[in-house]
Homo-oligomer: A and B are copies of this chain.
């Protein structure tokens, strides 16, 4: 038999009289002493945020909670009328949509920024790097993540606020600067309005906070999970999913069978 690798984890464990989470005594060192955003930071990174990190990280998460009647929110509501006894399944259904199109952008731009600056020292020529990124995407006909927005023009109103919160706390550094250079370069090259959107701002600031790009999608997932619970709570108070379903079902039937 193959030798077995021991199972190790630093997340948490319990004994009869104690509960340890990320190295802290949960009841005595965390409850009442850390807010949820800080706890999420601790849970993901393994260390408590300092107050400046906590302020920035909370702002990023708050941005991600509620984006209106998204496809994910509608999906969660539809599932909640099918399985009202299993709210977790409704939230899970909507969360399945935190993928590449509607919410994955933070991960994508963080990957671009981290790959570009990996191993580069403080004196790196950000404009040259931005130009290379824009031209590489143009060559591959790939959209650049984190810039442009179908609705919010000429700017995404969340972006300057997030950057201001980051700056105030000392987390507006070269990742943000590189993304600004990318946005400006792309606007010039493509002759279009391509402002940094909230997803881009969040991705860049997560880089400033030291989050590896591979876990950035997790931050969107956390925000949206809260938002989906909110939508299901509203669906319980004021149902609309059944109406959305009936309209679609009826229209499909009419369009299929009442052809002249």
**A247 closest partner in B (C-beta):** B4
Q: How far is the CB of A130 from chain B (nearest CB, A)?
A: 25
**Do residues A32 and B85 form an inter-chain contact, with CB atoms below 8 A?**
no
Q: Name A31-61 residues within 8 Å CB distance of B.
A: 31-32, 34-40, 43-44, 54-55, 58-59, 61
**Is A190 in contact with chain B by the CB < 8 A criterion?**
no
**Do residues B11 and A158 form an inter-chain contact, with CB atoms below 8 A?**
no
**A153 closest partner in B (C-beta):** B16
Q: Report how many residues on chain A are interfacial, defined by Cβ distance under 8 Å.
A: 124
Please give, as numbers and ranges, the residues of chain B lying within 8 Å of A84 by CB-CB distance: 99-101
**Is A128 in contact with chain B by the CB < 8 A criterion?**
no
**Is A10 in contact with chain B by the CB < 8 A criterion?**
yes
**Is A144 in contact with chain B by the CB < 8 A criterion?**
no
Please give, as numbers and ranges, the residues of chain B lying within 8 Å of A231 by CB-CB distance: 9, 11
Please give, as numbers and ranges, the residues of chain B lying within 8 Å of A85 by CB-CB distance: 85-86, 99-100
Taking Cβ atoms with an 8 Å cutoff, the residues of A that contact B are 1-2, 4-19, 21-22, 26-28, 30-32, 34-40, 43-44, 54-55, 58-59, 61-63, 65-75, 78-79, 81-103, 151-153, 157-158, 160-162, 164-165, 212, 214-215, 217-219, 221-222, 225-227, 229-234, 236, 238, 240-253, 255-257
